[in-house]
Structure 1
């Protein structure tokens, strides 16, 4: 969803219809548009994660709640609710376009967005990528010991 500077009206609208397992992806800027109250709504609706290309607040509270929140930073200043904004359309978040229905995968290093149309191909390619990395590591270790 796209929201404007410091405004979270579209986030509230986006929480009207999530399905359990959904991840909210939000393209915003510097002011906090997400905090403990919205995290509580997410938990009640089965939303599994929130990605904010901008700032959040109440991060300790959200961590205690177990909400997976990824954001650029934290600020204490809260949002307005004036709009405009939109829900259910592609957004550019962290210089990656995320379309409704894309699969969002999180790991310790960050987030990957996989287009739904590429999911099977991507999943099938993963073991080969792991093999390539093992071979490279093996070559490095071999070069160091010789």
Structure 2
């Protein structure tokens, strides 16, 4: 994967057209992979990680799980057990517009994780939420199948695969 800075420089026209979108800087990094990319599998949840576990329990096929948790900082949506599950089931990484926990365990996983913050409290288990819909990372929309590119410099969302 090319660095996100190079992808931005090479695709200024796509940024201007809205095809390539740059997510505002807000994420912290966990996991062994500082850089990862893949097509988006999207979830919209709020303080409930039931659908997150269900998604990560399936073969990720090298995709990136994008979890729109509404930006909540009142509990964690991903923890160490889910990090292990993501690694075992071939997910490239997880981007959470919300919080994570068990950060030492996440850092031991061979995946990339981005989230707003760490929070020690687990989420509720109501089974609420939506899968495979257009979600948001801050002000940037992400649709199922969009391409996600993540490295130390930021998070990109593209309607097209970028080389």
TM-score by length of 2: 0.67
Deviation at 1:94, TM superposition (A): 2.3
Provide the C-alpha distance between the structure 1 equivalents of 2:56 and 2:151, rounded to a whole number of angstroms.
24
Task: Find the aligned partners of 1:67 and 1:7 in 2 and give their Cα distance.
Answer: 22
Counterparts of 1:13 and 1:80 in 2: how far apart (Å)?
14
Per residue, is there more helix in 1 or in 2?
Answer: 1
Q: CA deviation at 1:90?
A: 1.1
TM-score, normalisation: structure 1: 0.75
Distance 1:108 1:115 in 2: 21
* 1:40-95 superposed Cα distances (whole Å, 9 cap, x missing partner): 11111100100001110011211122221101100100111103101111111122
Higher alpha-carbon deviation: 90-99 or 9-18: 9-18
Q: Is the 8 A contact 2:103 2:118 kept in 1?
A: yes
Point out where structure 1 has 5 or more consecutive residues left out of the alignment: 124-146
Structure-2 change in CA distance of 1:16 and 1:88 (3 Å): farther
5+ residue gaps, structure 2, are 1-42
Q: Which residue of 2 aligns with 1:42?
A: 86
Give runs of ≥4 in structure 1 deviating > 4 Å. Answer: none
User: Paired residue for 2:51, among 10, 13, 27?
Assistant: 10
User: What CA distance in whole angstroms lies between the structure 1 residues aligned with 2:81 and 2:68?
Assistant: 19
1:21 has 2:62 as partner = yes
Q: Give the superposed CA RMSD.
A: 1.5
Relative contact order, higher structure (CA 8 A, sep 6+): 2
Larger strand percent: 2
